[in-house]
Copies of this chain bind each other. A is one copy, B any other.
Amino acid sequence: MSDECVFCQIAAGEIPAQVLLEDEEAIVFHDLNPQAPTHLLVIPRRHVESTGTLETEDGELAGHLLLTAARAARQAGIHDSGYRVVANTGNEGGQTVPHLHLHVLGGRPMSWPPG
């Protein structure tokens, strides 16, 4: 855990969030600036900066995050209509919090290009 990291603090329960689901490795909560009727964030409890800093041994965790995104979409009721999963890495990717997170957006048709 990084003391400075807002997502670590959410994972630790030190900052409140509207949590949809959680397990030992991950936590899913609603984005504070939603870009779609449903906009969730999936984060690992462990501090990992981005997809770019995932190590080979983090494969299981990375997979768990993607499976959790699908599980969250199902629970939020956007699985059948469809949804988009987005991971921003670094400056041009648009990453604003340096703690790996998957955006899950749905409840409206998502357009193309994706930003």
| Contact (A93, B106) CB under 8 Å given A87-B84, A114-B35 | yes
**B contact residues around A9 at 8 Å (CB):** none
Across the interface, A62 reaches (CB within 8 A) one of B51, B67, B82, B110, namely B67
- Tell me if A13 counts as interface (CB < 8 A to partner B): no
State the oligomeric state as a number of copies: 2
Q: For A62, list chain B residues within 8 Å (CB).
A: 62-63, 66-67
By a beta-carbon cutoff of 8 Å, the part of chain A in contact with chain B is 35-36, 51-52, 54, 56, 58-67, 69-70, 73-74, 78-95, 103, 105-115
Q: Is the interface of A mostly helix, strand, loop or mixed?
A: mixed
Across the interface, do B89 and A82 meet the contact criterion of CB distance under 8 Å?
yes
Sample (30) of A-B pairs whose CB atoms are under 8 Å apart: A36-B113, A51-B67, A51-B69, A51-B85, A52-B74, A54-B66, A58-B63, A58-B67, A59-B67, A62-B63, A63-B63, A66-B87, A81-B90, A81-B91, A82-B88, A82-B90, A82-B92, A82-B93, A83-B89, A84-B93, A85-B89, A86-B114, A92-B106, A92-B109, A93-B106, A94-B109, A94-B111, A113-B115, A114-B115, A115-B115
